[in-house]
Structure 1
């Protein structure tokens, strides 16, 4: 596909982008969807921050949260488009004829895809604290939006974790064991563990405010 015709988060509507996601092309795919979910979480974070009237001593911190969320929205969409491009290379590598060239292409594409997802994951992890601050100090009328943001953020972390893990696992198709992959790419391997821990953190924070957001579901 020519770059001018590529479906990106910057040049297409939500309708067109999700239609492209629904096609059996893999670009955009789950990794790009992870980026969009992160952008949604960031957007909701910015919205809640903007509606919050802080105590005077909280103004500086709230303004920083707001700015970080606005920046993250843009960054996440850019990373979504970069992941879509990486997905094309990943798919192309697996369609090559069997042989050393195919194995090398799969290795390069798998590592590149894992790195792209790891960057998304790091961005998502960094956003947890700001959303947690809003859960405790944000406008109480928007607590349901905070819970929705946590859901989108959890989806982003889950997507990043799974994609990094899957891409590392794909390296075994060339004959390496998982332990060898771990030794060759320790930072990416450690990223999977950090993302798993981040999921527990998100769950704890969301559970702590769910009774405020959904009072009719008290059991």
Structure 2
């Protein structure tokens, strides 16, 4: 006769206590949820910082932010440049530099726009340095050296007396017979009016480089 089968021992069964409420709450707060809450807090904080930074540079107005009187000195100390640092008035006058060729015609000598292939798509710094050069040249001129011009700037430059000076720029792009023209941009309301010549002021220089 075969031996009776041996009985397999069963492991003891223990009662498991249900998780505490705070453990359940911690389990529900998964890492993505915590990251989302952190990102939301950072976005709200950044927006508040921008609002206070912009409003601190604005003139006195009817809007008052909470604790602004206390925070305004600190904001101006950390961000002193103000909103005008990032923007430029669309009505600000433009400076255009011209050079007189051997044929007597005036041609634009500006290296801009910076993103053109001749400027290595913005990598070459000569076009940006020319703005500094034009600023140095205008500093050499007196108020009486500028002449009002109501017509074509080239004709006004032909009639202007040249001011002889040495180009003080380190990177010289303007030499010889040079004309500087300062004129406001064409208003947006006139954008469809065709070729519009805005009134300007011109100055002529004879630059040695």
With normalisation by structure 1, the TM-score equals 0.21
- Looking at secondary structure, tell me which structure has more helix per residue: 1
Of structures 1 and 2, the larger Rg is shown by 2
The structure that is strand-richer by fraction is 2
Q: Which has the higher contact order (CA 8 A, sep 6+)?
A: 1
